[in-house]
Amino acid sequence: MENIKAQVKFMSEIENKEIIEEAEEQAKKIVSNAEKEALRIRNQKTLEVSERLHEKEISDLEGALLEQKKRISNVRSQLLDEVIAEATTILEKMGHDSDPRYRTSLRKLIIEASTRVQACDLEILTNSRDKVFVKSKLVELTKDISRLKGMPVILKISKDELDTQGGTIVLDKNKRQIFNNTFEARLVEAKDELMSQISMILFEGLED
Amino acid sequence: MIKLSIEELKEVVKQERICQKITEKTKEKAADIITKSKEDAQESLQKAENQEYYEKLFSKGLSEIEEKKKNIEKKTEEKIKSINEKAHASTAEKAVSMIVSYVLGEE
């Protein structure tokens, strides 16, 4: 009799143990599935955030770098303008003071312009201030230009006057060929010709 | 075959009832285990879906981008300073002199 009771109890205990084990197994599966799903969601959402951030970073940093380039370029351009303005002031002063360096230069500029014009009958234009000086050197200039061109030239000073800080314009008799060797024209030329060299001098060794 | 007296049979039946009650309790316990696991699963999913967490993550990333932008700005200032320092030293004089010589036809 006691044996039967013990058997009933034993069977029941086995059944109960199985119920709990099965429940625990099921619970484990539920939690494990949920954790897998949670991990998938987390990964996906984190990836979305990281993609949004990446796009924002690219756009913001590109903008910032562009702004940097613009600002540096403006500073450089301003400095180049300052250098040109300073050079212009020096040249103006030279012309006004009839500096010997300027006088030598004016002769050179007249000779250069005259040799560039393919004619023998030439007219020289300058500002009113330089006219007197050129007149005093006309014979000498005619000789030099004739020698350089390899033919005799007739050099005249125009009645007209230029509104220029310095330099000259030389033209032929028919006014078909004109060579502008004024300071203003040469400054424009200098900007084109020397800009890269000047940039090198000013900004050499500095990163972009 | 085992022969039991009425009294003994009653005892066995009594024991079986006790066991049934225990099994019922065990089933309740098993149901609780499953309910608890479902709650844990739900909590885990809710945590993964938590928008606040991702907003914080995004915000942290934004701060890092801002920091990088500030660094670029700082570098820009340094570069501008260095350009100005160099240009305002003797190099500017050299550049001016080069232009003057060119315009005067000395080069």
Under the phi-then-psi rule, with left for phi > 0, alpha for psi from -120 to 50, and beta for the rest, what region is A151? Answer: beta
**Residue-level pLDDT at A203:** 80
pLDDT digits (tens, 9 = 90+) for A109-127: 999 999 999 999 999 999 9
> How many angstroms separate the CA atoms of A44 and A62, rounded?
27
pLDDT at B90 over 80: no
> How many angstroms separate the CA atoms of B37 and A86, rounded?
84
Task: At A168, give phi and psi (nearest 5°).
Answer: -150, 165
Q: Is A185 on the interface with B (CB under 8 A)?
A: no
CA distances from A7 to A3, A10, B4, B27 (A): 6, 5, 15, 21
pLDDT digits (tens, 9 = 90+) for B45-58: 999 999 999 999 99
Chain B residues inside the 8 Å CB shell of A28: 37
Nearest C-alpha of chain B: how many angstroms from A132? 19
Amino acid at B10: K
Token pair listed for A73: 């370029």
Nearest C-alpha of chain A: how many angstroms from B86? 7
Chain B residues inside the 8 Å CB shell of A39: 48
What ipTM does this complex have? Answer: 0.77
Q: How far is CA B61 from the centre of its chain?
A: 11
Smallest CA-to-CA distance from B39 within A54, A196, A171, A30 is with A30
Chain B residues inside the 8 Å CB shell of A182: none
Instruction: Flag if B48 and A42 touch (Cβ within 8 Å).
Output: yes
Token pair listed for A171: 């033209």
Once rounded to an integer, what is the mean pLDDT over residues A46-64? 97
Smallest CA-to-CA distance from A84 within B89, B96, B4, B40 is with B96
DSSP assignment of B75-107 equals HHHHHHHHHHHHIIIIIHHHHHHHHHHHHTT--
**Residue-level pLDDT at A176:** 94
Residue of A nearest to B75 (CA): A68
Question: Could you say which of A41, A57, A79 has the minimum Cβ distance to residue B48?
Answer: A41
pLDDT at A208 over 60: no
> Cβ–Cβ contacts within 10 Å for residue A44, how many?
11
Q: Please, which pLDDT band fits residue B88 given cuts at 50, 70 and 90?
A: confident
Question: Could you say which of B19, B26, B103 has the minimum Cβ distance to residue A8?
Answer: B19
pLDDT digits (tens, 9 = 90+) for A170-202: 999 999 999 999 999 999 999 888 888 888 888
Smallest CA-to-CA distance from B30 within A23, A28, A16, A31 is with A23
> How many angstroms separate the CA atoms of A111 and A107, rounded?
6
Once rounded to an integer, what is the mean pLDDT over residues A45-71? 96
> How many angstroms separate the CA atoms of A186 and A51, rounded?
56
Instruction: Flag if A72 and B83 touch (Cβ within 8 Å).
Output: yes
Q: Is A26 on the interface with B (CB under 8 A)?
A: yes
**B77 against A206, higher pLDDT:** B77
Q: Find all residues with CB under 8 Å of B49, minimum gap 6, and list them.
A: A41, A45
